[in-house]
């Protein structure tokens, strides 16, 4: 946002005009109501006594004055009752919403709530106001927040649990800067008066409805007739009060957005929070019925009440981020956790029905472990993690060696038949590093293998040379199983082992522009990125359409890894496209695809929101399993994609057959 001071001045000017118009509307409602009822009584009196002049001024003036006083009293009484309810200030509002106070002294305070308190305290210092108490609306999945109170002395902040859980720190800071701005600008006091004014008009409507229900001796009474005459003005006043409240709230929101930029000096946080809300399935909706009266106080529409009480999200985002591409984001959800929704969708798409029943000749390589131990590469009993430390921190593995892996599914149905020695090998840091090295060398020809082994560190070359012949005889699914378990173990290896492994990676690396084998590219990408973890890029694109060319390259590459004729390739490709929702699709010819193009597409697609990356992974899996099976190259490709997107790996191993669910 450029020149937030101009946005602030414009919003304040429009807000003052709207408040004046709302006061005029209240007076006009009283005048119109009294005029209508007085003329109605004058007409009735003239019909009963036609000899009198029309209108009878005594009747007209008396009924007009009585009606004006009654209507004004009803509006004032309704507003006064609401203000009496809110005498406790912001705490009363928070308690009416059943919010739970976040106590900083609580020893069991969750880290998410502590982060929230830290953000609020930082913003309070920037605004030079006391840090307001914070309440959390538990069991509210929507992303929303409000500030309430008469002044900064009794102000409170109320945040939904969905916002605390799903927003990053920058996004949460932007949201809370907006709410602190309401306190800083005095909007909270104005919101309380708007709540009272709206409730006053609503009380007039309720009074008219109750009077209309009053009957006497099975006939409509005078009170009922009066209620029917008041009812249209009750509806009119309630609608107009809500309308002007919405318009005033629009300007207050624009003012708070501009002030939030001033306080945080970072417009991206609030804009990304609004983009997250727009893309989230619950958006900012509040389930509590108590939110009806305070709906205008929230950051975004709470889904209660009449009219849109807040400006459209897209208008607010464009003011904060003029270069916004128009697509919303959503980055965090329970369904995106490891072993969550992605596996449910994949298993709904295709189901595992039987185990592989290949006959394999298992080679016991126990004798080949001896050179490894002699070279000083094994420091503990077979099958246990050694006590080597890295940076003073123990790297002992817990007892649960069968725990679910952190990033990838390994043989979930137990179909892999592999000798126990390999299982023991990948349990140690150094054994896992050797397993990765042997799987890598197995991807080259025999001549190239011998050439590479000669260039390796002597500590590694001897052990690798002994294990490589045995690993070369393993089946494809066994090799990938070995790789999966090894990469899981080696990511937290001591510095010495990590250094040796990275030296090995550099020695056997193939430049991307010269690489033609997807299996080698996948190994190089996964190991390099796993050993050199970097911060994931911030999601900048919430829709696949802006990156449609990159999507076509990725899906075409996956499709061509198991090409068996043009017709089948097109079928597999369309199976993948069906999951993306893209209306236009082009299968890139195999001879026009290069590994460098795939690498570039992966880097660009990493900026997608988590939901869109999830869609792409399911689409890739659909293409791979369109023929009810998967080969080695497809399995490697899926691993590289999932690693690049920071997603768990679907339970896909080469050679295992799949069948569609009934």
Catalytic residue IDs? 179
Q: Which of 38, 316, 27, 303 is nearest to 144 (CA)?
A: 303
Q: Tokens in use for 654?
A: 């080469």
Residue 216 burial class via C-beta count within 10 angstroms: exposed 0-12, middle 13-18, buried 19 and up: exposed
Q: How would you label 69-94 residue by residue, b for 16+ Cβ within 10 Å and e otherwise?
A: ebbbebbeebbeebbeebeebbbbbb
Q: Which of 30, 56, 62, 33 is nearest to 43 (CA)?
A: 56
Give the containing element (helix H, strand E) for 581.
Answer: none
> What are the helix (H) ranges across 417-560?
420-425, 429-441, 446-454, 458-472, 476-490, 495-508, 518-531, 548-560
Q: Of 585, 593, 602, give the one whose Cα is nearest residue 638.
A: 602
Distance from chain centroid for Cα 655:
36
Contact status, residue 273 vs residue 143, Cβ threshold 8 Å: yes
**DSSP H/E element including 394:** strand 393-394
DSSP letter assigned to residue 541? B
Peptide bond into 558 cis (omega under 30): no
Alpha carbon distance 427, 423 (integer Å): 7
* Nearest-angstrom CA–CA distance, 255 and 485: 54
């Amino acid at each position: 946002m450029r020149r937030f001071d101009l946005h602030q001045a414009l919003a304040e000017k429009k807000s003052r005009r709207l408040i004046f118009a709302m006061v005029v509307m209240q007076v006009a409602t009283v005048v119109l109501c009294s005029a209508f009822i007085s003329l109605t009584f004058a007409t009735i009196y003239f019909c009963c006594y036609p000899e009198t002049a029309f209108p009878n001024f005594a009747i007209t003036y008396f009924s007009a004055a009585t009606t004006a006083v009654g209507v004004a009293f009803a509006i004032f009484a309704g507003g006064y009752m609401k203000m009496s309810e809110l005498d406790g200030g912001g705490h009363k509002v928070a308690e009416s919403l059943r919010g739970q106070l976040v106590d900083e002294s609580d020893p069991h305070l969750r880290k998410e709530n502590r982060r929230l308190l830290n953000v609020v305290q930082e913003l309070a210092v920037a605004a030079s106001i006391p840090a307001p108490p914070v309440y959390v609306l538990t069991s509210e999945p929507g992303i929303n927040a409000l500030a309430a109170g008469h002044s900064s002395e009794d102000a409170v902040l109320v945040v939904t649990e969905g916002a605390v859980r799903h927003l990053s720190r920058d996004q949460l800071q932007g949201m809370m800067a907006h709410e602190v701005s309401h306190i800083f600008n005095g909007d909270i006091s104005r919101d309380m008066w708007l709540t009272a004014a709206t409730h006053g008009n609503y009380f007039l409507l309720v009074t008219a409805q109750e009077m209309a229900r009053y009957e006497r001796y099975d006939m409509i009474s005078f009170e009922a007739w009066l209620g029917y005459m008041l009812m249209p003005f009750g509806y009119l006043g309630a609608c107009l009060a809500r309308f002007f409240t919405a318009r005033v709230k629009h300007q207050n929101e624009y003012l708070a957005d501009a002030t939030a930029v001033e306080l945080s000096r970072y417009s991206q946080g609030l804009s990304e929070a609004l983009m997250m809300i727009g893309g989230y399935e619950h958006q900012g909706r509040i389930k509590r019925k108590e939110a009806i009266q305070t709906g205008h106080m929230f950051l975004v529409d709470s889904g209660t009440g009449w009219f849109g009480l807040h400006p459209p999200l897209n208008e607010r985002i464009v003011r904060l981020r003029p270069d916004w591409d128009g697509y919303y984001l959503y980055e965090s959800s329970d369904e995106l956790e490891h072993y969550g929704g992605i596996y449910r969708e994949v298993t709904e798409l295709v189901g595992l029905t039987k185990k592989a029943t290949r006959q394999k000749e298992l080679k016991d390589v126990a004798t080949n472990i001896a050179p490894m131990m002699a070279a000083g590469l094994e420091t503990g009993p077979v099958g246990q993690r050694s006590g080597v430390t890295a940076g003073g921190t123990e790297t002992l593995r817990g007892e649960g060696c069968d725990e679910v892996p952190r990033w990838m599914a390994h043989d979930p149905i137990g179909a892999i038949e592999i000798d126990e020695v390999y299982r023991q090998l990948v349990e140690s840091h150094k054994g896992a590093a050797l397993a990765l090295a042997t799987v890598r060398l197995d991807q080259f020809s025999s001549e190239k293998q011998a050439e590479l082994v000669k260039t390796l560190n002597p500590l590694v070359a001897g052990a690798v040379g002994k294990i490589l012949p045995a690993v070369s005889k393993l089946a494809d699914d066994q090799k990938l199983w070995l790789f999966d378990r090894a990469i899981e173990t080696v990511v937290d290896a001591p510095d010495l082992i990590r250094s040796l492994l990275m030296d090995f990676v550099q020695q056997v690396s193939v430049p991307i522009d010269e690489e033609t084998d997807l299996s080698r590219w996948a190994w190089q990408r996964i190991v390099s990125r796993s050993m050199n973890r970097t911060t994931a890029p911030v999601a900048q694109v919430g829709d696949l359409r802006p990156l449609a060319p990159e999507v076509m390259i990725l899906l075409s590459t996956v499709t061509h890894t198991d090409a068996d004729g043009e017709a089948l390739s097109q079928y597999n490709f369309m199976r993948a496209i069906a999951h993306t929702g893209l209306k236009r699709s082009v299968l890139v010819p195999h001879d026009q695809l290069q590994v460098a193009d795939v690498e570039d597409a992966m880097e660009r697609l990493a900026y997608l929101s988590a939901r869109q990356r999830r869609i792409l992974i399911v689409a890739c899996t659909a293409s791979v399993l369109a023929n009810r099976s998967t080969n080695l190259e497809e399995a490697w490709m899926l691993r590289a994609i999932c690693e690049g997107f920071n997603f768990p790996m679907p339970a896909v191993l080469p050679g295992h057959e799949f069948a569609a669910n009934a």
